[in-house]
């Protein structure tokens, strides 16, 4: 097989749509050549702007294959990863990372949709109208307190995920996704409780 044919085959196996994406995935899975400048560490001499990042591999530790034999070796590694299931594990990690990056936005949209749903049903209006007749722990303040608690854990987990590097990133991505699901469940529960309760009687 020529290098061009091998590239096409690898793109098919790695489920990528461009050569650039294929190279990124090869580097991420460590199926490319080890960088000769940094020895695979991704680090080299220190400078103020780029810190200790190796310029040859851009900090990845691996560089794209150049010779036919190198491409053939990368292809064999890809085929092996498909056979032993490690490729599926890698793809699942990518899915979780993508989900984690969107977690905060998903939760905030759920909160906004919950507010809109209650507003359309007239509950929010009745809460506001009655709020002056009740102590601070009114239904509306309690509702927002619970919503804030539900979303705060997502905010904290998202901050930790954004600041993470290396192997910790996958662990924190999973933790953020769990926090997101918990928050969505809490928001749905709050809406259901409000819709099921007789709000007007609370202010009689």
Domain ranges of the chain: 3-84, 91-203
Q: What is the pLDDT of residues 152-187, one digit of tens each?
A: 889 999 999 988 876 788 899 999 999 999 999 988
Q: What is the pLDDT of residues 101-136, one digit of tens each?
A: 999 999 999 988 887 877 777 665 555 555 555 443
3-state SS class at 44: strand
Give the contacts of 71 (CB within 8 A, at least 6 positions apart).
3, 6, 7, 10, 65
Report the mean per-residue pLDDT for the chain. Answer: 81
Q: What is the pTM of this model?
A: 0.65
**Exposed, middle or buried: residue 201 (CB in 10 Å: 0-12, 13-18, 19+)?**
exposed
9, 10, 11, 16: CA torsion to nearest 10:
150
Percent of the chain with pLDDT over 70: 83
List the structure tokens of 2: 């020529």
User: Are the C-beta atoms of residues 174 and 157 closer than 8 Å to each other?
Assistant: no
169, 86, 29, 10: CA torsion to nearest 10:
-140
Q: What is the pLDDT of residues 133-156, one digit of tens each?
A: 544 345 566 677 778 888 888 999
């Amino acid at each position: 097989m020529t290098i061009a044919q091998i590239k096409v085959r690898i793109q098919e196996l790695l489920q990528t749509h461009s050569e650039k994406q294929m190279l990124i995935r090869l580097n991420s899975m460590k199926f490319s050549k080890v960088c000769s400048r940094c020895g695979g560490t991704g680090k080299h001499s220190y400078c103020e702007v780029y810190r200790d990042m190796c310029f040859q591999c851009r900090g990845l530790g691996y560089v794209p294959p150049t010779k036919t034999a190198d491409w053939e070796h990368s292809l064999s590694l890809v085929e092996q990863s498909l056979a032993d299931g490690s490729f599926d594990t890698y793809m699942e990690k990518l899915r979780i990372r993508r989900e984690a990056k969107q977690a905060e936005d998903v939760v905030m949209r759920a909160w906004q949709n919950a507010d809109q749903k209650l507003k359309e049903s007239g509950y929010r209006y009745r809460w506001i109208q009655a709020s002056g007749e009740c102590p601070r722990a009114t239904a509306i303040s309690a509702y927002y307190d619970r919503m804030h608690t539900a979303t705060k854990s997502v905010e904290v987990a998202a901050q930790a995920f954004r600041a993470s590097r290396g192997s910790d990133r996958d662990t924190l991505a999973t933790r953020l996704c769990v926090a997101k699901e918990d928050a969505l469940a809490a928001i749905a529960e709050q809406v259901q409780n409000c819709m099921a309760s007789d709000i007007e009687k609370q202010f009689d």
